[in-house]
Structure 1
Amino acid sequence: MGLRNLHSLTPWWSATSGVQTYRVRRVALVVVHSVAAGERLLAAARAVEDEPGVQVVFTQPPGPADNRVVDFLAAADALTTPWECAVNERFDLVIAASPTSIGTLRGALLLLPEVSTRGEIVDHNGRRCIPALNGLLRQRADDFDAVVIGLPHDAAVAALRAASPNSGRCATVVGDPTYDHLLGALAHRDAYREQLGIPHDQRLGLVVSTRGPDSLLGRTPALLRRIAMDPPTRSDRLVCHLHPDVWVWHGRRQVLAWAGSVVRTKVRFLRPEQPWQVSAAAADYIVGDHGALTAYAAATGKAVYLASPVSAAIPNSLGEAVVRYGRVLDPAVPLAAQFDWTARPSAPVARRVTSVPGRSADLLRTECLRLLRITNSTRQVTDGR
Structure 2
Amino acid sequence: MRSAVALYRLLDVLPVFAGDDRISTSFTLVPGSDFGADALTAVGASGARIIPWDEARSRPFDLVLVASPKGDLRLLHGHRVLLPHGAGFSKTIRGEGSPGSASGLDPEYLRSAEGSEAALYALAHPEQVDRLRESGSSDAERAVVVGDPTLERLLASRPLRDHYRAALGTGARQLVALTSTWGPRSLLRTRPGLPAELAAVLPYDNHQLALIVHPNERARLGTFELTEHLAPALDAGLVLVGSHEEWAALLVAADALITDHGSVALYYAAVNERPVIAASDGGDEVIEGSPMARMLATVPRLGSAADVLRTLDAYRPGAAQEAARAAFAEQGGVLERLKELLYPLLRLPAPPLPTEPRTLPVRTSTARTPVAFAVRLDLASPDRVRVDRFPAHTGPPGHHLAVEHGAAGERAARSAGLLYRRPLLSGAGPGSVPGPLDSAWTAGGWTAHALGRYPGCLAAAAVLPSGVGVLRVRDQERLLAVRVEPYAEGGRVVRADPAVALSAVHFWVAKRQEPPASFVCLLGHRGFRVTVTAATADEESRPF
Q: What is the TM-score with the length of structure 2 in the denominator?
A: 0.59
Q: Which residue is 2:396 aligned to?
A: none
> In structure 1, the residue corresponding to 2:164 is in which secondary structure?
helix
Matches within 5 A, 1:277-356: 277-300=248-271, 301-309=273-281, 311=283, 316-331=289-304, 333-340=306-313, 344-345=317-318, 346-356=320-330
Contact 1:116 1:292 (C-alpha < 8 Å) held by counterparts: yes
- Return the index of the structure with the highest Cα Rg: 2
Shift of 1:46: 1.4
- Worse-matched range after superposition: 267-276 or 241-250: 267-276
Distance across 2 between alignment mates of 1:70 and 1:115:
20
Shift of 1:344: 0.7
Aligned counterpart in structure 2 of residue 382 of structure 1, from 347, 356, 368: 356
Matches within 5 A, 1:10-89: 32-62=1-31, 63-64=33-34, 67-89=37-59
Shift of 1:293: 0.4
Distance across 2 between alignment mates of 1:256 and 1:167:
41
Distance across 2 between alignment mates of 1:247 and 1:220:
16
Q: Which residue is 2:174 aligned to?
A: 203
> In structure 1, the residue corresponding to 2:37 is in which secondary structure?
coil
The one-letter code of the counterpart of 1:96 is V
Matches within 5 A, 1:129-278: 129-134=106-111, 136=112, 138=113, 141-142=114-115, 147-199=119-171, 201-231=172-202, 234-278=205-249
Distance across 1 between alignment mates of 2:156 and 2:91:
26
- 342 and 158 in structure 1: CA distance in 2 versus 1, 3 angstrom threshold: closer
State the superposition RMSD in angstroms.
2.8
Contact 1:43 1:361 (C-alpha < 8 Å) held by counterparts: no
> In structure 2, the residue corresponding to 1:194 is in which secondary structure?
helix
The one-letter code of the counterpart of 2:28 is T
**1:239-279 deviations in Å (ceiling 9; x for gaps):** 11100011111222222233343444421212334521111
Whether 2:57 is the aligned partner of 1:92: answer no
The one-letter code of the counterpart of 1:133 is L
Q: Which residue is 2:344 aligned to?
A: 370
Contact 1:117 1:290 (C-alpha < 8 Å) held by counterparts: no
Distance across 2 between alignment mates of 1:239 and 1:117:
24
Distance across 2 between alignment mates of 1:338 and 1:72:
37
The one-letter code of the counterpart of 2:126 is D
Distance across 2 between alignment mates of 1:225 and 1:209:
14
Shift of 1:363: 1.9
Contact 1:152 1:353 (C-alpha < 8 Å) held by counterparts: yes
- 341 and 355 in structure 1: CA distance in 2 versus 1, 3 angstrom threshold: same
**1:314-373 deviations in Å (ceiling 9; x for gaps):** 564211332255321122753333332655125412311211122321222222112111
- 368 and 186 in structure 1: CA distance in 2 versus 1, 3 angstrom threshold: same
Shift of 1:291: 0.6
The one-letter code of the counterpart of 1:241 is I
Contact 1:47 1:364 (C-alpha < 8 Å) held by counterparts: yes
**1:169-228 deviations in Å (ceiling 9; x for gaps):** 1222121112222212222111221222322x2222211100112211122222122112
> In structure 1, the residue corresponding to 2:8 is in which secondary structure?
helix
- 307 and 277 in structure 1: CA distance in 2 versus 1, 3 angstrom threshold: same
Q: Which ranges of structure 1 fall in alignment gaps of 5 or more residues?
A: 1-31
**1:62-115 deviations in Å (ceiling 9; x for gaps):** 244763223322332212222222112111100011221221111111111346
Q: What is the aligned-residue identity percentage?
A: 25
Contact 2:259 2:276 (C-alpha < 8 Å) held by counterparts: yes
Distance across 2 between alignment mates of 1:381 and 1:121:
34
Distance across 1 between alignment mates of 2:103 and 2:203:
32
Aligned counterpart in structure 2 of residue 111 of structure 1, from 52, 68, 82: 82
Q: Which ranges of structure 2 fall in alignment gaps of 5 or more residues?
A: 360-544
> In structure 2, the residue corresponding to 1:67 is in which secondary structure?
helix
Contact 2:126 2:145 (C-alpha < 8 Å) held by counterparts: yes
Distance across 2 between alignment mates of 1:103 and 1:169:
18
Distance across 2 between alignment mates of 1:187 and 1:212:
34
Shift of 1:289: 0.9
Higher helix share: 1
Distance across 1 between alignment mates of 2:313 and 2:118:
52
> In structure 2, the residue corresponding to 1:339 is in which secondary structure?
helix
The one-letter code of the counterpart of 1:69 is A
Distance across 2 between alignment mates of 1:283 and 1:299:
13
- 264 and 96 in structure 1: CA distance in 2 versus 1, 3 angstrom threshold: farther
Report how many aligned residue pairs link the two structures.
348
- 109 and 127 in structure 1: CA distance in 2 versus 1, 3 angstrom threshold: closer
